[in-house]
């Protein structure tokens, strides 16, 4: 469960960094001529994305996630706002696990 919480946290942070990169840094670069914005936010997002993939691998082994789930979470990380859907899926999964534990 600890790895699921960590994965959820890095998923949120990486998702927000992607949104900032696309909707803040990219317009600053291409509309207003400030290329430093993408260098800064792109680097931050890159580090967070690597941390996301690392945590996805760790969580996939310890939670465990199926290969289909892992692939879906990875694909959703490439889509703007996809990480927020991942968060919904993770909450649904945690709720289902809690319910199954209570029924046991």
pLDDT in tens, 70-89: 999 999 999 999 999 999 99
| Structural domain harbouring 18 | 2-103
| Average pLDDT for 16-22 | 97
Buried residues in 49-86 as b, exposed as e (16+ CB within 10 A): beebeebbeebbeebebeeebbebbbebbeeeebbeeb
52 touches 11 (CB < 8 A)? yes
**Percent of the chain at pLDDT exceeding 70:** 98
Q: How many domains does the chain have?
A: 1
pTM for this prediction: 0.89
In this prediction, residue 30 has a pLDDT band, given cuts at 50, 70 and 90, of very high
Q: Which long-range contacts (CB under 8 A, 24 or more apart) does 19-27 make?
A: 19/80, 19/81, 20/45, 21/45, 22/80, 23/80
């Amino acid at each position: 469960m600890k790895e699921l919480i960590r994965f959820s946290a890095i998923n949120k942070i990486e998702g927000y960094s992607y949104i900032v990169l696309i909707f803040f840094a990219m317009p600053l670069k291409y509309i207003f001529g400030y290329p430093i914005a993408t260098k800064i936010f792109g680097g931050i997002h890159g580090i967070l994305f690597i941390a996301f993939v690392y945590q996805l691998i760790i969580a996939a082994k310890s939670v465990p996630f199926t290969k289909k789930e892992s692939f879906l979470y990875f694909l959703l990380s490439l889509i703007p706002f996809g990480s927020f859907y991942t968060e919904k899926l993770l909450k649904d999964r945690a709720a289902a696990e809690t319910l199954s534990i209570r029924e046991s």
